[in-house]
Amino acid sequence: MNQLDALKQFTTVVADTGDFHQIAAYSPRDATTNPSLILKAVQKTEYAPLLRETVQRFGSYGIDEVMNRLLVRFGVEILHHVPGRVSTEVDARLSFDTEATVDRARRLIDLYQGEGVHVDRILIKIAATWEGIQAAARLEREGIHTNLTLLFSFSQAVACGQARVRLISPFVGRIYDWAKKQAGASWDEAAMAGPNDPGVLSVRRIYQYYKKHGIATEVMGASFRNAGQITALAGCDLLTISPDLLAQLAACDAPLTRALDPQAARALDIPFITYDEPAFRLALNDDAMATEKLAEGIRAFIVDTVKLEALMKAA
């Protein structure tokens, strides 16, 4: 049994790509996208027609509607290749606007339903700011399920659990990147690999907290830099993995054992925490890594969204 098949015994495998032609080879249950992945996809010859067709059909409705239609077009295509859900992201420029985030999410769901896609097959991705988490809480009460992304801190995870969001995506690789950069010449790659990886440790802490306290929010590790980070999280609810790393796992037949276990987590002594807005903002501010990476991630998604809009205008 290769490592990908072994991983599927413990964890739901999700494909992290906008390239839906690559998905079928690895039989993931779900798939995730983001502005950067969609931008990468539409610059490929085989996907460029989707961009042109969308602009031709809906360009007169304005750039926001063209973007919504393009995201949904990719999502619908992806759903032809997975039996489960696709995550579609709200414009990162709305990350600090609860009302606008709710409105955009509702519009995306309306478009999916117009294509005959059931609401339960869609996760609306929202940045895990305070405003984004409050938007997600409202959407969940309406039956629209959410995936809180750009999640780097325990405080973000606690607030998402309070909001009863369906799923969170803690970013393993970006936490690793920050820790490695901070350490500089003193970084010991071997010592900080696998279960000692700072990104892995962050996800493990969140997973254990959720399982200990019966929080139903699903934990989906994301943003991996190497296969070792993935195998160290075997047993996490879900892991969203790029096609390159899926291929590495499929090509490796080394033994794989479960690393995260809900029963073991429930036996731990972990205090329950709640946050109001001031306490959340203070806790996030106290976490320099999370504060920096959240802001950086929002900026990066905005840059790629603007690039994607420029391609639309030129189409």
Catalytic residues: 125
Please state, in angstroms and rounded to a whole number, the distance separating the CA atoms of residues 12 and 149: 18
DSSP 40: H
Per the CB < 8 A criterion, the answer to whether 191 and 249 are in contact is no
Residue 65 carries which side chain, given as an amino acid letter?
A: E
And the tokens for 113? 């339903």
> φ, ψ for residue 120 (rounded to 5)?
-70, -10
Please state, in angstroms and rounded to a whole number, the distance separating the CA atoms of residues 78 and 35: 15
**CB contact set of 47 (below 8 Å; sequence gap of 6+):** 18, 19, 41
Please state, in angstroms and rounded to a whole number, the distance separating the CA atoms of residues 259 and 239: 13
